[in-house]
Structure 1
Amino acid sequence: MTVPQLTITTDNPLSIDSDVLVLGVLSTPDGAALAVDTAEYASIGAALEAVGATGSRDQLIRLPSIGGSARSVALVGLGVSEPNSQALRFAAGAAVRLLGGVETVTFHFPVASDEDLDAVLEGAAIAAYSFTRYRAASLDKEKNPPSAITVVGESTNSDAIVARAQAIADAIHLVKDLVNTPPIDLFPQSFADAAIEAVASDGIDVTVLDEQGLSEGGYGGILGVGMGSARPPRMVRLEYSPAGATRHLALVGKGITFDSGGLSLKPAASMVGMKYDMTGAATVLAVVRAASRLRLPVKITGWLCLAENMPSSTALRPNDVITVRGGTTVEVLNTDAEGRLVLADGLVAASEEMPDAIIDVATLTGAAIVALGNRYVPMMGDENLLARISKVADQVDEKVWPMPMPDELRPALNSDVADLANARIGNSAGGMLLASVFLREFIGTADGTETRIPWAHLDIAGAANNSGGAYGFTGKGPTGVTVRTLVALAHEFGQA
């Protein structure tokens, strides 16, 4: 999906040739009011009540042109009485998502800073997405996103703001394209090929390990999970290493291109949607590419742990013991707890390079949805790193929440025959926390110390997919959650 052309201009909005001029509407104690109230918009401001404008979020009202070059006007609710960047981002996205079928859109919002300009462009660009690869063109004609988005405002950093919004939207669209692709077409090898193609012009080194390379490298977790599929697993390593970078951030992504549960087979209804189980790997790929395009001064390695979890006569069995990279043995008690097995290989490999921090991203547990629903991302790990992630997530308006890793859960992973078991049987309480305790076992220690490398685990099982109604810049389906947070974190790492 191609991101629209993005522009910032100081031109009179009524002089800009566009299909729709979008104006923000405030929700105040005294009723709806235009966020930018000029003489040119007096007739609209006087008619807000008559046309049913309330200023509430996700409300969009289309009106005829009031003159000038804009062929129509759209009123979108900001949901607040005093605009901020979060409200502007949400409203810009809602406008683009709800308009559909228009080619050009101009925003005249109350932008008071570069942050506000960035928010409007970012929200609008993210929302300008559709996935039509498998549909007849006529079915989606009225839903096509705009090809050009203009924001009225003034900044001395316009080029940088546009570049950042473009890179972020590109990254999120890449995640959505990969996740939306059905598993018949997206499997470990084709995902690896897509990764190579996605970064071909971005100065990123790519290494792909096939079955032989995985075997020689001792990646028993990825190999074990992929044993039941006719389409063998892959490990993709990405490296963005700009000159002069002094910090190194490692990102590890779960990439189960389809999760049937293996021999611990899921019920039929629970299998629908399991193409989403590679969202973590797609997120890592997108973040590394965005970092390169934004020239962030930090080294980033990305590890895409790719496998298809299928049942067959060659599939991994409950009670089988596998050896993860580095030598730890794991008794598999539940083949549907496979994500932690492929991540274990990736975490060990990432640790071997002694990065300054490791973050894994995974649609790992249904327990994450039970705990925090579908919009918050639970995160576990090193407290200082979690605090840094929380700070940047708040800045970009993504919802994360720190959760504990109770030491008393560790005995539940004991095995009678191996170093670890991958799950416990008969007690699902604290499943999200138990998974993080398992993953912690594969984080290496910092060079010359006994202290673990700072690490965070982001369980995006709930927030990675919006199965409910669309809102703001978030449509139905994959959301691209944590892309913006991780890019912001990488930027902060580069400043340290």
Structure 2
Amino acid sequence: MTTPKLALTDTAVTKLAVDTLVVGTVQGADGLELAPGAEPVAAAYDGDLVQVLTSLGASGKAEEVVKLPASGKLRACVLLAVGLGKPGDGGAVTAEAVRRASGAAARALTGVEHAATTLSTSELSAAVQGTVMGAYGFTRYKSNSGDDPVAQVDFVVDDAKADGAAHALKGATAIAEAVNTARDFVNTAPNDLYPATFAERAAELGRAAGLEVEVLDEQALRKQGFGGILGVGAGSSRPPRLVRMRHKGPRAAKKVALVGKGITFDTGGISLKPGQGMEEMTSDMSGAAAVIATMVLAARLNYPLDITATVPMAENMPSGTAYRPGDVLTMYGGKTVEVLNTDAEGRLILVDAITRACEDEPDYLIETSTLTGAQVVALGKRTPGVMGSDEFRDRVARLSQAVGEGGWPMPLPEELRGDLDSKLADLANITGHRWGGMLAAGVFLQEFVADGVQWAHLDIAGPAYNNSSPWGYTPKGGTGVPVRTLAAVLADIADRG
């Protein structure tokens, strides 16, 4: 992960000696318009900039990138115009439009040493996040990675020396870097990232950030009765782990538990997945990656909360020692589960972690996982499903939408609980039908949440991994969803309780 050097400046754009100067454009009612902050640039073109851009085919549509030689009145070499799309009510563009446009610009700046972008102060946080996330690249396994990401970006704002601007820059950079940390985990090949190495790297990052860290190996898991984690991990030569991380912030008034699914590779086990696309199952630990990155962020920004993460890690493999359909597992805490499908493994390791997390008596519990293919069927590749306690679920979904990750509230229908009844155990790990699979998984998890705990489950099966072309600030591969949602929820709890 390489983050461009970021700086604030109020230097006049005509005096900025940079390789590329970035300005925003919008789709106005009568055609292309320049976004606020671009007025001095337009003046350097003697008022002809809109006409020049229009002649080059620019329309201001979202994420459109047009390059042209800079005017002789500018010290920049190249002018890059990036589209923000259609303004919303009141003529303003949304923060998400700014994030996506900044991401598209950052991707277009590959190989550039020094760039600057003009914007209003209200857009600074979104622009910084979009720039850092858009400049992301994962080249660990490339012998020739090509051009490097943009090395430095200056943000031209009127109040560059104000504390508020510096605070916005710091916070937005930290959040975007946390997203990129999660992406790095997801993009690491499963022969390098398996439970032991994942736990080691998480512990290294956590301790460096000042977190309390505990790692339970297979012997400790067996001694303490984590039957779900051990059952899922039994088929692999790489034994499972459980990582516990804690941040105790100043004047912490609320306790928050975070849980993330860490299946480092998912073959489906004995209930083997089809071979096509199985390589994407390296992303089945995206929930764990997001939680670990968020914990490091919490320490970095020193949230005034008591936050504990419980992160189960296992590799789901078929072998002579693998768990089978028909097995009954005794979960942490004593409940029993009949396994009807070994490819519904995520919920088995998660409920061990949820039960353990609830022993800390948190006020809130947030769990995230690439849990069900049914999430993609119901909501598509970009929209997480959010389930849980009604009030907290809706709060999490609103915050997710506000930060651009688009979480959508979903119900937990009572009638689905009966479909999880087992003839042998307390419950089965799947229903006997394919209807409402995302909701049934949420109902299963709900059985293990302690009474009185406000909780939310985010199913990110589709949004966690982009297997198509890059767009906005989203690269191909790991996306880092839902780090920004988790960060927003923690900040909201710190502010409102």
Which runs of structure 2 are paired with 1:17-416 in the superposition (5 Å)? 17-35=17-35, 36-38=38-40, 39-41=43-45, 42-67=47-72, 68-81=74-87, 82=91, 83-109=93-119, 111-113=120-122, 116-137=123-144, 140-142=145-147, 144-155=148-159, 156=162, 157-416=164-423
Distance 1:461 1:209, change over 3 A: same
What residue number does 1:448 align with?
none
| Structure 1 residue 199 displacement after superposition | 2.4
* CA distance in structure 2 between the partners assigned to 1:238 and 1:244 by the alignment: 19
What residue number does 1:449 align with?
none
Q: Is the 8 A contact 1:97 1:475 kept in 2?
A: no
* CA distance in structure 1 between the partners assigned to 2:218 and 2:17 by the alignment: 55
| Structure 1 residue 217 displacement after superposition | 1.3
| Structure 1 residue 101 displacement after superposition | 1.7
| Structure 1 residue 360 displacement after superposition | 0.6
> Aligned with 1:443: secondary structure?
coil
> Aligned with 1:96: secondary structure?
helix
Which deviates the most, 345-354 or 199-208? Answer: 199-208
Alignment TM-score, normalising by the size of structure 2: 0.95
Which runs of structure 2 are paired with 1:384-463 in the superposition (5 Å)? 384-425=391-432, 427-445=433-451, 452-463=452-463
* CA distance in structure 1 between the partners assigned to 2:477 and 2:292 by the alignment: 19
| Structure 1 residue 154 displacement after superposition | 3.2
Q: Does 1:468 align with 2:468?
A: yes
AA aligned opposite 1:206:
V
AA aligned opposite 2:290:
T
Q: Is the 8 A contact 1:20 1:73 kept in 2?
A: yes
| Structure 1 residue 319 displacement after superposition | 0.7
> Aligned with 1:199: secondary structure?
helix
AA aligned opposite 1:37:
E
Q: Is the 8 A contact 2:247 2:306 kept in 1?
A: yes
| Structure 1 residue 431 displacement after superposition | 0.7
* CA distance in structure 2 between the partners assigned to 1:353 and 1:279 by the alignment: 24
Q: Is the 8 A contact 1:33 1:48 kept in 2?
A: no
1:124-177, Cα deviation, whole Å (9 max, x unpaired): 11111111100013xx323x2112121111342122112112211111111111
| Unaligned 5+ runs, structure 2 | none
| Structure 1 residue 299 displacement after superposition | 1.4
> Aligned with 1:200: secondary structure?
helix
| Structure 1 residue 185 displacement after superposition | 0.4
Q: Is the 8 A contact 2:128 2:172 kept in 1?
A: yes
Q: Is the 8 A contact 1:10 1:153 kept in 2?
A: yes
AA aligned opposite 2:320:
S
| Structure 1 residue 303 displacement after superposition | 1.3
Q: Is the 8 A contact 2:63 2:104 kept in 1?
A: yes
Q: Is the 8 A contact 2:215 2:242 kept in 1?
A: yes
| Structure 1 residue 7 displacement after superposition | 1.3
AA aligned opposite 1:178:
F
Distance 1:415 1:365, change over 3 A: same
* CA RMSD of superposed structures (Å): 1.3
Kindly, what percent of the aligned residue pairs are identical? 46
Which deviates the most, 206-215 or 4-13? Answer: 4-13
| Structure 1 residue 261 displacement after superposition | 0.4
AA aligned opposite 1:130:
G
> Aligned with 1:358: secondary structure?
strand
1:2-57, Cα deviation, whole Å (9 max, x unpaired): 22121121111232232210111111121112222331243423312111111011
* CA distance in structure 2 between the partners assigned to 1:413 and 1:164 by the alignment: 44
AA aligned opposite 1:85:
A
AA aligned opposite 2:21:
L
> Aligned with 2:298: secondary structure?
helix
Q: Is the 8 A contact 2:271 2:341 kept in 1?
A: yes
| Structure 1 residue 414 displacement after superposition | 1.0
Q: Is the 8 A contact 1:25 1:32 kept in 2?
A: yes
Q: Is the 8 A contact 1:222 1:345 kept in 2?
A: yes
Q: Is the 8 A contact 2:207 2:213 kept in 1?
A: no
| Structure 1 residue 291 displacement after superposition | 1.3
AA aligned opposite 2:325:
P
| Structure 1 residue 196 displacement after superposition | 1.5
| Structure 1 residue 270 displacement after superposition | 4.2
1:81-103, Cα deviation, whole Å (9 max, x unpaired): 43332222211111111332212
Which deviates the most, 93-102 or 414-423? Answer: 93-102
* CA distance in structure 2 between the partners assigned to 1:367 and 1:289 by the alignment: 31
* CA distance in structure 1 between the partners assigned to 2:420 and 2:402 by the alignment: 37
| Structure 1 residue 112 displacement after superposition | 4.7
* CA distance in structure 2 between the partners assigned to 1:273 and 1:387 by the alignment: 30
1:342-383, Cα deviation, whole Å (9 max, x unpaired): 001010001000001101100000000000001111111101
Alignment TM-score, normalising by the size of structure 1: 0.95
Q: Is the 8 A contact 2:250 2:302 kept in 1?
A: no
AA aligned opposite 1:87:
A
* CA distance in structure 2 between the partners assigned to 1:268 and 1:43 by the alignment: 56
AA aligned opposite 2:115:
V
* CA distance in structure 2 between the partners assigned to 1:493 and 1:279 by the alignment: 23
AA aligned opposite 1:241:
K
* CA distance in structure 2 between the partners assigned to 1:134 and 1:229 by the alignment: 24
> Aligned with 1:238: secondary structure?
strand
Distance 1:46 1:37, change over 3 A: farther
| Structure 1 residue 441 displacement after superposition | 0.7
1:154-210, Cα deviation, whole Å (9 max, x unpaired): 342122112112211111111111100110000000000110222232111110000
